[in-house]
Structure formats: structure tokens, C-alpha cells
Structure 1
Amino acid sequence: MNFNPGKIGFGLALIVGVTQSSWAQTTVRLSDFKDPSKSWKEVGQVWADPSLPNSLFTDGQGSVLVNLPDKKNPGKDLVSTESYGDLELKLEYMMAQGSNSGLYLQGQYEIQLLDSWTKISPKAGDNGGIYERWDEARPDGQKGYEGYAPRQNASKAPGLWQILEVGFQAPKFSASGEKIQNARIRFVRLNGVTVQEDIELQGPTRGSLRSVEVARGPIRIQGDHGPIAIKSLEIKPMDTQAPSLANLTMEVYSGSFADLNELAGKTPVNKKSLHSLNELSTGVTGTSLTKVQGTIQIVQAGNYTLDMAVPNGLGAISIGSESASSLSSGRIRVEKNLSAGSHPITFFVSKPRDWTTQGFSLQIQENGLWPVQLSQPAGNTQTDSDPIWVDTDQTPVLRSFIEMPDRGKISHAVSVSSKAGIHFSYDLSTGRLIRVWRGLFLDATPMWNNRGNGVSRPLGNLTYLNSSSKSDPITGTDSFTPKGYQIIGDGQVRFLATTATGELTDQVQLLADGKGLTRTLKRTGGSSIEVPVLEGKSIKQIRENFYWIEDAGLYLQVGDKSVKPTLNSQGQVVLPFSSELTYTLLF
């Protein structure tokens, strides 16, 4: 591959020499891989019917890669022409119903790609799992070992686009070729949910390209197990060398300082040299301000971010010729473009009240550098509380505030769980379904910890059906007065309301097979209205009464063949509703 770091529009995007705060959408080409088989094609569009096993459908020519193995064209793995060491990777992919694939880092370590749609307790061989290693010499039943199941099932339905993000540290070797550090998975995020974290890999997983480990290797996508489509693949090498601090000296000023101008005319009561910031100790038993000066050694030019925090105190950073303007509490963040070489740096650490905890926290990162901890305060300064996760056996339905993407909150809301591992939230004041998700239920830490703020947050793979905190009632201009709800059974709730024209019942049932939910609306009186189902930009009919809302990541199935979904001017998928309406959302 010939890469142009300043232009993104090719296959495996090497983000080098430029600073990007977010991933860029990147197409993939078969020319980015060695000798792709005829089962792989470049198409304009791909879709699936989740009821049909091992089937993907395509149309046109374009930049979406699809693997459609058959007897005439058996599947074969894609192996990139480029090799990589440490990296971050983002893959947008689609699985057919019942299909199986895998992403091999360096061709050696497999992250499983699988249709795990309705699994409640996923295993290492499920979507987002780290596949097991294999040893034929072991006894039967023990040949596979050191596989890691995802923490929860954050998968989507077959035929929906999914996103896999991986942080990978390659194994390290001495000059003589001896391995001195194992490979490590820093994180795996599946559809925005962290399902693996800080996993050390003792060796290659089953089906690796080679039995020995290497410092650099290709990206490999399994193609011999079933259909898969790939919309984008982005790779960011994490090979920026970490900066270091040198020539450190400190001066300690006695007294309580809330402003840097108060230092004028003051004489330090303590001075000394430091080998590292972790040696910082004021030597005084009262309030003080410590000024640490030195140089930061930059090996590779880039846009660096320093994050500083002073426990129970104030801090400031200055780099180069710039002066620190003020002392701040909380997180102090400085971003600066630094050339390779040595740059003056100064830290101010003020303890105007509590002087017992010595030192401060300092972290540095860059686009191609994972966060590096340069300093840690002495003692245990951990203030985070243990998370409070809602037990669905004890609390299957929870009233709480809900944070919305538009930054507003819904105060009259209820979230409903099911034993099938799927859940929804409902706005009681408007009669709208707000969101659905798969995986674990709710994190109630913001709600129940300390005084709390009333908010609970979904723990799984979240899809918003409505992103605004100021939506109109489901009945539009017709009046809407909520009258409570009834819990009917597992994942089944009937919501009650009155309108200007009569009574309204809204029954929502999470499906026992874990595929989605069915909603039935009934009302007395009134003319036909349009019910907003979800936000979406396009509707594609897959089969009779069955539609794919691609950008929303959902399927819509309508109960009445005569009822057709349409898009309104507000970017919503709507259905006509007179006296009764039933539809199903699959996710």
C-alpha cells in the first residue's frame, strides 16, 4: 500500500504525521490485501434478512467488502500487505445470520466475530471474545485454553452494522530475538461497550498464521467460515515514543497560595533536585506551594496533551516560553504542539488547605501514544465509589432520570429489563419509547451514590429511538395525560393514558427469545395520527412488512400488511395509527 498521511481515502488508514481527535471514515479495498480469493467482492450496498442463515445480499459496485463463499468460490482469509506493531483499530462489519469470522491481530491473536445475537452468557468463542489457544497434546476437553469471554453480549442482530474497537500492544523482543514482554489487549469495545480490558496474551490463539510470535505482523480477517461484510477498517499505529522529564528541581514556599502572583518576593524554604516527580516531598508540615522546574524530552514531534490533578489542592503547568496564568482545581489540561528536542517545563503544586497528600498526578498522551503516567501522588487518593449496578432479579423495573443525547434530561421515565438480556426505557410524560439496549441493565451509581442526581445509565449496547428531551407526546397535538403503568410479566408493561378523544393503552413486550420488542397501541376515538417509532434517514424493505432502518441500526416489522412506514419532515420513521397499531423492533 502506498500511504499519503495527509489524505484519507484508502483502505487501511495509517494515521501518521497528522493529529486527529477522532476516527475518520475510511473505505477498504481488496488491493490492501494479499491475493484475495474470488469469494471477496467490492460492492455498493449489502444487507441481510436475519431469518435466512448464512446469507448476505448485495447491489452495485463500491467500497464495501463482502465475503460470499460457496462451492465454486470457497472462502479464504484476507491478509493485509502491511504489518503492524502496537495499534488501535476500528472495524465496522456486518454478520450474516449464523455466520462466523474473526479478526487476527498480527495474524496471530484472534478477536472473534460471530453472530451472537441472542446469547445471554457469551463465551470466548462469541462476538468480541478472545479466542482460545490450542494444544493437541493436552487431554480431550482441555486442548483449548486461555480464551476470554466478553464481559457481556453487546452484539447486534445479523444484518446490522457493528463496530469493533481494539487497543493492542505487540509482544516485545530483545536484540537477540528473545521475547521480553507478552502481547496485551488493552481494550476491546463492541458497539461502544468495553467487553475486554487489559488481557495479557501468553501466546498465539488457535489458527494463527505461525507458531512463533513476531514484533510486527499483518491484519488478517477470517474468510473461510461464512459471509461477512466490511464497511470500514481504520488502523492507527501507536508507535510514538514516550517523552521523559529531566533536570528536575523543586522549590517549596511556605504558606497558603491561591494565586501565582502571591509568590512575588517570597523566598523558598526548601530546595532540592529530583530524579522523578514521584520523589516530590515538601519537607514542611503546613500549607505550601511547590514549584518544580525541568525539561521535557520530546523524541517525536506531535500535539501532546498533559493532564494534571492535585489532590485537595491547586495546580498549573507552563511549557516553553509560555507562563502559567493561574492556579486551578480539578483536572488541569494543557495541549501543545511540541517539536522534537528539549523544552522547559514548570509545574506549580499548591496545598492551601490540606497538605497531607504529597505529590500530584500527571499523565501525557499523543495521537500515537497511549496515556503515560509521569507522576502519582503519595498514598491512596482514590475517590471513585464502587459501581452500583441494578440487580434485575430484585429490581426489574426502575424509575429514574434519563440523560439524553441533546444534553437534556427526562425526569418522568421508567426502564424495564428482561431475563433475555434486552431492555427499554419509556418517557411517561410523552408516551414515547426512548431507547433499547442489549447486555447488562443499569448503572445506578449516579442515582444512589451519596446524594445522587437521579440518573441511571444503560450498561449495554445502546440505541436511542428518540434523542430529544423536549419531544411532543406520541399523540401529537392531541392532549396526553399519563395514568401510570402495570407490570404484566417479565419484560412486559402496559402504560395507560387519556387523551382528548378517549383512553390510550400502550403495551410493550420484550421478546423472550431476546431478539427485540413488540409494541401494541390501542385507543378509543379520534382520527388517524402518525406515531413516531424512531429516528431514521432511510427505510429499506427486506421482505413483506419487514424493514431495515440502516442508520438507526434496527429492523422494523409491522403487524398489519396494509400499514407502511414513512419518513416525516423531522427525520422520524412514522406509522399511521387509528384505533390499534402493532409493530416489532429487532436489534
Structure 2
Amino acid sequence: MKLLIGGTIAALMMTPVLAMAQDKPKPEDTEQWSPKVPVVTPGGESFTAPPSDAMKLFDGSSLDQWKAVDGGGPARWTVADGVLTVNKQAGNIETRRAFSDYQLHLEYRIPANISGEGQGRGNSGLFLASTGPGDKGYELQILDSYRNDTYVNGQVGAIYKQYPPLANPARKPGEWQAIDVLWHAPVFAADGSLKTPAYVTAFLNGVLIQDHVALKGETVYIGKPAYTAHGPAPIKLQAHGDPSAPISFRNIWVRDISDD
């Protein structure tokens, strides 16, 4: 009888532990797989030269406008033949200048010889506001989504783990592609509470993929997004650690449209 009582007590004691293990958040909890995003064939080239009032963040010659995210030293990605290529060992890079509201244009290219699948295929990210080291901030996903199946709120053009894109106009690997973004930064009250969320409108290859969506907070890989008060922030490019070949960028410019 004592053994039975002891066994019962042990089982009861283990129940909360098992429940906690089952309730632990996982990355898969926030992956959305349906409905599928419609594939759209983009029109002609949608590359745009910087307008007269734009700040050139990368014009093909140097990384003077960028720095390493961790440590703040010089950005150590590769610049050759007018193209900027991710150096995964060097980590993420971000602009030296901080921004509030802006219009941004950048062009990227997935390597023609890309391999892998899902999130392990040409993965990078455009962080519309970098709020700290690593991957802190608000991410618009960059990924090879040309005939590459993955969760829809993680494919190219998604506000990562928040909003799938409205369409998938991705070009084939090896071809240059263009992202255009209108970013309105969140506004916080003096006590740090949120007054106005961040808003994003974005185009990929000239096709609308995000239509003035209100972000739920900063990007998180596991769990739910939330806001933490911050001011103007740099723009960040991600050196994702997936094993596929690194992607490249060119013609990056920004127009500051903030009131201050």
C-alpha cells in the first residue's frame, strides 16, 4: 500500500513537469502554412535609380554607410564589381545612421547555383528598424521563394512570422530582384507605452506584397511579437546562418520622410 501511495504521489508530482514541457513554445507554433500565396509573374525590370534627394546606402563602391551590428566595427561584407555579398562569418550589418519614417529601395540576387530547401535556401532579411544586437528589430523576409515551399509567413516578402505577402512575384535564382518599402516607425508615449504601431507598405519586383499593414511588434522566431519603446533606428541586413550560398545586394538607397 505504501508503494502505491508513493507511486501516486510521484505521478502527481511529475504531471506539472510534463505539462510545462508540452507547453514550451516552439518555432513551429507561429508558422502559417495556408492559404498558399498566389504566384505572380512580375513585369519588366523594376530597378530604380536613386532620386535627387535620396541617400545612397550602397552605390557599388564602399560600405562607408554601414557598420557591424555586433561590436560596431567596420562592416566586413564583400564588395566586388559593384555588388555587395553577404559574409556570413562577419555577421549582420546595419546603417551608421538611424531613421524614423522612410522610403527604401534595394536590389538583391539569389545565387544561380543555390541549393537547399525551405528556410535553408537563400535566406536573409531586411530589418526595417534594428533595435539591438543579432536579429533584434522588424524583419521583412528575403528568401528564394521561386518554386521553394515553406511556411507562408516566412517566405520572401513576409513580415516574418506576422504577415504573409499578398503575392509571390519572385524571379528565378540568378536574376536581380527589387524591393521597395515605405516604413512608418512606431510611436511611443513618454512612459514607453505604444501610441501608434509601425506600418509597412512593400513591393517586390513592382508587385504589391504588403499593403499598409500594422505590425504586431518586433520580429521573434519563437513566441508572439511585442513592442519595446525605442527611437530612430538603423536599417539592418541579415547574414543568415543557413548553409546555402550567400546572396548579394546592389543599388540601396533611402529617402527620409519623417517630420523631424
TM range (shorter): 0.5 to 0.7
Q: Secondary structure at the match of 1:12?
A: strand
Q: How far, CA to CA, are the matches of 1:204 and 1:228 in structure 2?
A: 24
Tell me the amino acid that sits aligned with residue 106 of structure 1.
A
Identity among equivalent positions (%) equals: 30
Is the Cα contact below 8 Å between 2:192 and 2:229 reproduced in 1? no
Match of residue 32 from structure 1: 65
User: 2:217 matched to 1:180?
Assistant: no
Q: Which residue of 1 aligns with 2:203?
A: 189
Whether the 8 Å contact between 1:165 and 1:190 is mirrored in structure 2 is yes
Superposed CA offset, 1:208-246 (max 9, x none): xx97242310100001335111111111111248xxxxx
Q: Is there any run of 5+ residues in structure 1 with no aligned partner, and where? A: 14-25, 45-62, 133-146, 242-587
Aligned position for 1:113: 142
SS at match of 2:141: strand
Equivalent residue letter for 1:126: Q
Letter in 2 for 1:201: L
| CA pair 28-190 structure 1, distance change in 2 beyond 3 A | farther
Distance change >3 Å, CA 112–CA 6, structure 1 → 2: closer
Letter of the 1:67 partner, please give it: V
Find the counterpart in structure 1 of residue 157 from structure 2: 128
Aligned-partner SS, 1:83: coil
Secondary structure, in 3 states, of the residue corresponding to 2:103?
Answer: strand
Q: What residue in structure 2 maps to residue 222 of structure 1?
A: 238
Deviations 1:43-88 (A, max 9, x none): 00xxxxxxxxxxxxxxxxxx3211143xxxx140011111011111
**Using the alignment, how far apart are the partners of 2:184 and 2:252 within structure 1?**
18
On the 8 A contact 1:204/1:213 being kept in 2, the answer is: no
What is the distance in 2 between the residues matched to 1:87 and 1:7?
12
Secondary structure in 2 matching 1:124: helix
- Give the whole-Å Cα distance in 2 for the aligned partners of 1:230 and 1:6: 21
Matches for 1:252-263 after TM superposition, within 5 Å:
none
1:417-455 CA deviation, whole Å, 9 max, x = no partner? xxxxxxxxxxxxxxxxxxxxxxxxxxxxxxxxxxxxxxx
Deviation, structure 1 residue 203: 0.8
3-state SS of 2:154 partner = coil
Q: CA deviation at 1:12?
A: 1.9
Cα gap change, 1:28/1:213 in structure 2, threshold over 3 Å: closer, same or farther? farther
User: In the superposition, relative to structure 1, how do residues 194 and 114 fare at CA in structure 2: closer, same or farther (>3 Å)?
Assistant: same
User: Aligned with 2:218: secondary structure?
Assistant: coil
What is the correspondence of 1:19-418 to structure 2 with a 5 Å cutoff? 26-27=59-60, 29-34=62-67, 35-36=73-74, 38=76, 40-44=77-81, 63-69=82-88, 74-96=89-111, 97=114, 98-107=121-130, 108-119=137-148, 123-132=152-161, 147-185=162-200, 187-206=201-220, 212-225=228-241, 227-240=246-259
* TM-score, scaled relative to structure 1: 0.29
Counterpart of 2:64 in 1: which secondary structure? helix
Q: 1:156 to 1:33 in 2, by over 3 A?
A: same
Distance 1:30 1:211, change over 3 A: farther
Tell me, what secondary structure is at the counterpart of 1:217? coil
Could you tell me how far apart the structure 1 residues matched to 2:257 and 2:92 are?
25
**Matched-pair contact (CA < 8 Å) for 1:75–1:224:** no
Partner AA of 2:237 in structure 1:
I
Matching residue's letter, 1:29: S
Do the aligned partners of residues 100 and 7 (structure 1) sit closer, same or farther apart at CA in structure 2, a change above 3 Å counting?
same
**In 1, are the aligned partners of 2:126 and 2:236 still within 8 Å (CA)?**
yes
Identify the residue that residue 284 of structure 1 maps to in structure 2.
none
Question: Which residue pairs with 1:583 in the alignment?
Answer: none
Task: Give the superposition deviation at 1:31.
Answer: 1.9
- Once the 2 structures are TM-superposed, how far is the Cα of residue 179 of structure 1 from its aligned partner? 2.2
Displacement of 1:122 in angstroms is 6.6
After TM superposition, give the deviation of residue 27 of structure 1 in Å: 4.1
Note if contact 2:56-2:254 (Cα within 8 Å) is conserved in structure 1.
Answer: no
SS at structure 1 position matched to 2:234: strand
Contact 2:197 2:215 in 1 (8 A): yes
Q: Which structure 2 residue ranges, 5 or more long, are not aligned?
A: 1-50, 68-72, 115-120, 131-136
Cα distance change, pair 6–193 in 1 and its aligned pair in 2 (3 A): closer
Quick one: distance in 2 between partners of 1:180 and 1:211?
Answer: 11
Aligned partners of 1:166, 1:6: CA distance in 2, in Å?
A: 18
* Counterparts of 2:207 and 2:52, CA distance in 1: 31
Distance 1:201 1:28, change over 3 A: farther
Of the two, which has the highest radius of gyration? 1
> Does the 8 Å CA contact 1:91/1:164 hold for their aligned counterparts?
yes
Greater relative contact order (Cα 8 A, min sep 6): structure 1 or 2?
2
Deviation at 1:121, TM superposition (A): 8.4
More strand by share: 1
Q: Write the deviation string for residues 318-340 of structure 1: whole angstroms up to 9, x where unpaired.
A: xxxxxxxxxxxxxxxxxxxxxxx
CA distance 1:157–1:75, shift in 2 (3 Å): farther
Give TM-score scaled by structure 2 length: 0.63
Q: CA RMSD in A?
A: 2.8
Looking at structure 1, the residues matched to 228 and 143 of structure 2 have their Cα atoms a distance apart, in angstroms, of: 26
Residues 28, 232 of structure 1: 8 Å contact kept:
no
Partner SS, residue 181 of structure 2: strand
Tell me which protein shows more helix as a share of its residues: 2
Distance 1:6 1:206, change over 3 A: same
Deviation at 1:123, TM superposition (A): 0.6
Q: Following the alignment from structure 2 to structure 1, what is the Cα–Cα distance between the partners of residues 251 and 106? A: 6
